[in-house]
Copies of this chain bind each other. A is one copy, B any other.
Amino acid sequence: MNDSPRRRELTRLAAQLFVQEGFDRTTVRMLAQEMGIKSGSLFHHFRDKQEILCAVIEEGTQNALAIAREALEASEPNPEARLHAMARAHLETLLTDRNAHVVALYEWRRLDAESRAHLSHLRDAYEALWQEVVGDALDAGLIHGDKFLVSRFVLGALNWTVRWYDPDGSRTPEELARELIAMITPSSR
């Protein structure tokens, strides 16, 4: 029951509805109708509504982690390039997996205790990656301050973009990432 094409399709659709309506206002009947099935049939794929939420967030976070790792591998090894690669990867996932990430940001508190514990590990792994890259930049004298503080400030700035960033606008994620890194790296000017 844990992984089928059908389930994946449902998860994708659920993410979209959760963004449009919010988790609590999205009824199982809505999701079913959008999928062209009856509401009862949903429970063949998911134990309960909670599990749908968990699946949505899990997939988004897994993707973010994978993309960040790829970006680091493809990046030049100097600290500034790595910082830039992380920021750019973050912004790009925020776009390609937008629905899942908005759900993760705004509906996290609707998770029950065990789902939250499970997903916390994934999220922590992602944040640890950031702290590593930020730590290297600090050691290299590229930026100054506290490793954890800088990581959190940067992550906050990046996540906030879902509120205002327009992908059809004039700026690419690439440019946005560069401007953010430029803002915090005095020496690079």
- Residues of chain A touching chain B, judged by Cβ–Cβ distance below 8 Å, are 22, 24-25, 106, 109-110, 143-146, 149-150, 152-161, 163-164, 176, 179-180, 182-184, 186-187, 189
Contacts and interface: CB of A to CB of B under 8 A. Distances in A.
A187 B186 CA distance: 8
Contacts of A143: 183
Contacts of A163: 156
Given A106-B106, A144-B189, A153 B22 contact: no
Contacts of A158: 156
B24 A149 contact: no
A48 to B, nearest CB: 16
A122 to B, nearest CB: 16
Contacts of A144: 182-183, 189
Given A24-B24, A25-B24, A186-B189, A152 B145 contact: no
Contact of A183 (B24, B109, B153, B182): B153
A146 B184 contact: no
Contacts of A179: 145-146, 149
